A = this chain, B = another copy of it.
Amino acid sequence: MSLSFISIGLNDEKDMSLKAIEEARSCDLLYAEFYTHKINTSIEKLEKLIGKKIQLLSRKDVEESDIILTQAMKRKVGFLVGGDAFCATTHLALKFEAMKRGIETKVIHGSSIFSAVGEVGLHMYKFGTTITIPFLEKLRGKLPISAYERLKDNKDRGLHTLVLLDIIEEEKRYMSFKDAIEILLQLEELMKENIFTEYSDIIVFARAGSENSKIVFGKVKEIKDMDLGEPPFCLIIPGSLHFTEKEYLELLKNDKR
């Protein structure tokens, strides 16, 4: 019948829009996933807010089974996902499969790190490609060289880089900014292009969209040993800075919040 991708938004169930809640309430069957985005909520909280039962699905359930599509052939199914639904390629793939089977699809958008990153004070139109730092075991210990190359490509053009950090929800593992910095420094050691060193500027954006979000700006060596609290984190590696961006970051540095 139909499949609605319902974005929960950036941080918790209260980031859901009125549209998202209405759409969820109008569905016959609700699923949710927490594996593409660390979302600071629970199935119980979502069920309480929406007033319906929700079945939590693992990556395996979604990517290796037909459970969602089979149901969506017969009923109005809603799939609750963190952030904004189609920032995750895996959800696009599911929408694609649904379209191929003639299932009507719909999306309710939500807040996302892709736009929330503007809060750090850099201009949105100066961001280059976004990169993700994966846990090394996923690469069998190899370093993510393509991430470094894309960072170099952005830096060569004076562009800012949003760096997303990997999560393994099944193991409740969320990459810390320290691990990501360590991997980037190892890449620098390997590639030696002088793209990311202890003396590079970096911004850490912790817990974006939450009451206790934190933005820290400084040199890698000043920041890598800081205690910035719980995940999730993302990094922003500035390119060349417009003077208004520089002023803003300097103010941020001295902002005691």
Contact = CB atoms under 8 A, between A and B. Distances in A.
Interface of A: 7, 9-10, 13-19, 21-22, 83-87, 89, 92-93, 96, 99-100, 104, 107, 109-112, 114-116, 118-119, 121, 123-132, 153, 157, 159, 208-209, 244, 247-248, 251, 255, 257
B109 A111 contact: yes
B111 A247 contact: no
A92 B109 contact: no
A86 to B, nearest CB: 3
A15 B14 contact: no
B10 A109 contact: yes
A15 B17 contact: yes
A91 to B, nearest CB: 8
Contact of A124 (B114, B159, B247): B114
Nearest to A257: B104
Contact of A109 (B129, B209, B247): B209
Query: What are the 9 tightest A-B residue pairs by CB atom distance, in nearest-first order?
Result: A86-B118, A112-B115, A84-B115, A109-B111, A114-B115, A14-B18, A14-B19, A109-B116, A87-B118
A107 B213 CA distance: 10
B86 A119 contact: yes
Contacts of A131: 125
16 contacts: A7-B111, A15-B18, A84-B118, A85-B118, A89-B124, A89-B244, A92-B121, A96-B248, A100-B251, A107-B119, A109-B111, A111-B115, A112-B114, A125-B130, A126-B129, A127-B129
